[in-house]
Chain A
Amino acid sequence: MINNNLKKVTIIDYHLGNLFSVKQACDTVGINAIISSKAEDIENADALILPGVGAFIEAMDNLADLNLIETIKKAAAEKKPIFGICLGLQLLFTKSEEFGTGEGLDLVPGTIRKFPADLDDRKVKVPQIAWNSIYEFEKKWSDTPLMDVVNNEFMYFVHSYYVDPSNDMDILTKTNYDGIEYCSAISKDNIFATQFHPEKSTLKGLSIYKNWATLNNLI
């Protein structure tokens, strides 16, 4: 059933990653979402989801080819809610160490770093492709999309790079991968983003979609 009063959410398609599962998660919790690469669908949306799996530089190149960089920055400046997932979280940052230095959307100050190949003479398996736990840092989770999530809950991760925010107050969760502690979710004004995949983390992950939508009056 189509409800015309429903707020519109655009899942930004820049040709990297499994968008089907993001759309499926939206449908399941009642978010009215479309998948699109068009600037007009971003301009007309009430909120945006920026997903993605893969390489930072290729992603930024694709966004540039699609003429979406300024469109996304404008939407962010208009305070539209933005939900970044995995590579989508990383793209929000200032720059990446990947293959030299790549420039990001610069909506959240910080750098993207690669997991080290070894730590204390031990080999670190990269990428991290695993369920791992998320825990509170300084900021509390109440009034955020993580409000229903218990501390140390397991979520599904797939990544070789992690975000290193310049401001501790942007950090919402931390995770420890084989001795490396890093930021696994952020919130800053209208922006919320996770390194893990809530859409692949059972009903506990889907509650994050639902809470994000509820907090932003999208459903």
Chain B
Amino acid sequence: MDIKGPNLVKGIHMEGLRVLGKPADFAKYYYENGADELMFMDVVASLYERNSLHDIISETAKSIFIPITVGGGLRSISDIKEVLRAGADKVCLNTAVINNPELIREASRMFGSSTIVVAIEAIKESNGQYLAYTDNGREHTGVDVFEWAQKVNDLGAGELVITSVDREGTGEGFDLDLVSRISALVTIPVIAHGGAGNKNHVSEVITKAGADAVAISSLLHYHFIKENSSSVHSNEGNSEFLKQKRSYHTFQDCKIAEVKQCLIDNGIECRI
């Protein structure tokens, strides 16, 4: 769940953010409908160098009894401590650890490896090389994705989220080549993110690319919008899209239960 100010938002290639509704409405709905974990990302936090999700987290943690991961703009041990104290179970780091990889080691020693999730935002260059980006795909780092993934693994992160910025928000399916290379390389669980346009894409990234878990947003958000009326803070951001109650032709939006049934039909064990 990408959060900007008071709103849940969604973009394409992490840009052109559209307002979709209140984060709390989506969180409750997903919790009650079979989500295994919620990830809240403050998508503008890195830009402003602060994470503003504390209120959303502490409110959510009171009534939602599944793991909660929080990311966006977390720069230091004390930033991490603060969101964990607000009720997050895990933190997701990207910009801060690319600038200072030792923070992974320090944070996993202090909070336990399993509390530290590292996100890698990958963009495929025209020469075929994958490079890591930060600040939601805005900032080029020049770091090779696979070298970085190995380092993240060795420094003691507990999980790795691999986002294909090229596929993110498009519904065209995951970058199977990227995910399978990462999954084969590291010894920690890999969460695939970016590209799910239908339930078969989700099943495929597990069976064909070896993902250990899958992060999905648009596919579920667009279904939620069709099924529910949500009160939108229309004073911030573009909400025209929401009012039209439509999604893109590339998405066959569905419920979590439909995704899970598809996984079970394909021999993948999961909670239903």
Contact = CB atoms under 8 A, between A and B. Distances in A.
Interface stretch (A38-46, A104-112, A195-203): A195-203
Contacts of A17: 112
Given A130-B213, A205-B65, A206-B65, A117 B112 contact: no
Interface string B20-46: 000000000001000010000000000
Contacts of A20: 61, 84-87
Nearest to A202: B65
B161 to A, nearest CB: 12
A206 B65 CA distance: 8
Interface of A: 16-18, 20-21, 24-25, 28, 53-55, 117, 123, 125-131, 133, 154, 156, 158-160, 197, 199-203, 205-206
Contact of B270 (A131, A158, A200): A131
Given A21-B89, A24-B62, A200-B66, A127 B84 contact: no
A54 B1 CA distance: 27
B212 interface: yes
Interface string B197-220: 000000000000000110000000
Contacts of A133: 269
Given A18-B84, A117-B187, A127 B61 contact: no
A131 B271 CA distance: 7
B36 A127 contact: no
Contacts of B111: 16, 53-54
Interface in B238-272: 269-271
Report the contact-size class of chain B (Cβ under 8 Å from the partner).
20 to 34
Contact of A127 (B87, B113, B270): B113
Given A125-B189, A127-B188, A156-B67, A21 B87 contact: yes
B114 A159 contact: yes
Nearest to A16: B112
A21 B189 CA distance: 23
A195 B31 CA distance: 22
A159 B114 CA distance: 7
Given A24-B62, A201-B65, 4 more contacts: A20-B86, A126-B188, A156-B67, A206-B65
B158 interface: yes
Contacts of B94: none
19 contacts: A16-B111, A20-B61, A21-B61, A25-B65, A125-B188, A127-B158, A130-B212, A133-B269, A156-B66, A156-B67, A158-B114, A159-B114, A160-B114, A200-B65, A200-B66, A202-B31, A203-B65, A205-B65, A206-B65
Interface in B163-205: 187-190
Contacts of A25: 65
Q: Which 8 A-B pairs have the closest CB atoms?
A: A54-B112, A154-B271, A158-B114, A131-B271, A53-B112, A125-B189, A127-B114, A20-B87
Nearest to B84: A18
Interface string B95-138: 00000000000000101111100000000000000000000000
Given A125-B188, A156-B67, A200-B89, A24 B61 contact: yes
Contacts of B188: 125-127
A81 B21 CA distance: 45
